[in-house]
């Protein structure tokens, strides 16, 4: 008598949006995911990406994805173009992960970091598509279907060099200010010499390994837990001290 195989486990879906902590939109996307694939594991990875700002979000998204070792589907919606010249809905696949969202630059940094990444336009059509909430009506069901290995009709859309020309693999700028006022940058720490200093907000900032290595109130940089260069202040807020936020550029001074 044949052994019945266990049902294939689904990948997790990781929510990455700029919707903020309030409102019904995140909940409605969760409902759409559960409706498409009951029991699908879903994690709210980060829902306060820099609002309407695909560029910093693209750098943070690539870092967060690199920090997740198990194959997952990232449902990424940071889209300033609601109802205007909306970008095409795409799915991007690296060797490990899949990403679903609007083709507005949000996945360009992934393309830089994963030269083999494949992009495809989503041709699959949901039964109902509202005018203003593609996150719920299109991207969520597609992400759920991919996580559950259900078919999704797509058309390959190779990256063109000129699309990526303006998206360096590392971007010397703040991409996220966390609740502590720590400033994540678009620089991967592995590529910055420990002796390097970073000019930001009118100061030159040296690296420290931990908060305890610098005097209270002083700024320093370090490689954060997602592999990015992050600027912090011991006992304070780098965002306030330096007056910087997502999108503001910094300068790396060779060590």
List residues near a copy of itself by CB under 8 A.
Answer: 9, 12, 14-15, 19-28, 30-31, 34-35, 38-39, 41, 43-48, 60, 64, 67-70, 72, 82-85, 130-133, 136-137, 178-179, 209-213, 222-226
**CA–CA separation, 3 and 213 (whole Å):** 59
**CA–CA separation, 127 and 146 (whole Å):** 17
Nearer to a copy of itself, 52 or 253 (CB): 52
Q: How far is the CB of 152 from a copy of itself (least distance, A)?
A: 20
Q: How far is the CB of 141 from a copy of itself (least distance, A)?
A: 12
Nearer to a copy of itself, 80 or 255 (CB): 80
Nearer to a copy of itself, 43 or 193 (CB): 43
Q: Kindly write down the DSSP assignment for every residue of 31-51, as one continuous string.
A: HHHHHHSTT--EEEEES-PST
Q: How far is the CB of 254 from a copy of itself (least distance, A)?
A: 24
Strands (E), the chain: 12-17, 42-46, 72-77, 89-93, 98-102, 118-122, 154-156, 171-177, 183-188, 197-200, 203-205, 219-223, 228-233, 251-253
**CA–CA separation, 36 and 99 (whole Å):** 17
How, if at all, do strands 197-200 and 89-93 pair? unpaired
Q: How far is the CB of 159 from a copy of itself (least distance, A)?
A: 26
Nearer to a copy of itself, 43 or 96 (CB): 43
Q: How far is the CB of 137 from a copy of itself (least distance, A)?
A: 7
Q: How far is the CB of 224 from a copy of itself (least distance, A)?
A: 6
Nearest CA to 38 among 133, 119, 125, 150? 150
Nearer to a copy of itself, 63 or 120 (CB): 63
User: Which DSSP state fits 23?
Assistant: S
Nearer to a copy of itself, 191 or 251 (CB): 191
**CA–CA separation, 228 and 207 (whole Å):** 13
């Amino acid at each position: 008598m044949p052994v019945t195989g266990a049902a294939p486990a689904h990948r997790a879906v990781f929510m990455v949006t700029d919707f903020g902590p309030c409102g019904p939109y995140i909940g409605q996307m969760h409902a759409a995911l559960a409706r498409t694939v009951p029991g699908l594991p879903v994690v709210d990875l980060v829902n306060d990406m820099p609002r309407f700002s695909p560029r910093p979000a693209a750098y943070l998204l690539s870092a967060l994805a690199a920090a997740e070792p198990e194959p997952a589907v990232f449902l990424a919606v940071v889209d300033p173009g609601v109802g205007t010249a909306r970008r095409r809905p795409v799915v991007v696949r690296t060797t490990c992960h899949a990403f679903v969202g609007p083709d507005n630059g949000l996945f360009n940094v992934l393309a830089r970091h994963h030269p083999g990444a494949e992009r495809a336009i989503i041709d699959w059509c949901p039964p109902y598509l509202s005018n203003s909430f593609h996150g719920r009506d299109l991207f969520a069901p597609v992400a759920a279907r991919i996580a559950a290995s259900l078919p999704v009709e797509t058309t390959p859309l190779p990256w063109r060099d000129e699309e990526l020309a303006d998206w360096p693999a590392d971007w010397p700028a703040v991409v996220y200010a966390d609740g502590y006022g720590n400033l994540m940058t678009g620089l991967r720490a592995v590529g910055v010499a420990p002796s390097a200093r970073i000019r930001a907000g009118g100061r030159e900032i040296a690296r420290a390994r931990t908060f305890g290595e610098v005097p209270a109130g002083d700024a320093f940089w370090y490689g954060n837990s997602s592999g990015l260069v992050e600027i912090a202040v011991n006992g304070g807020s780098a965002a306030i001290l330096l007056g910087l936020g997502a999108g503001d550029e910094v300068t790396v001074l060779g060590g």
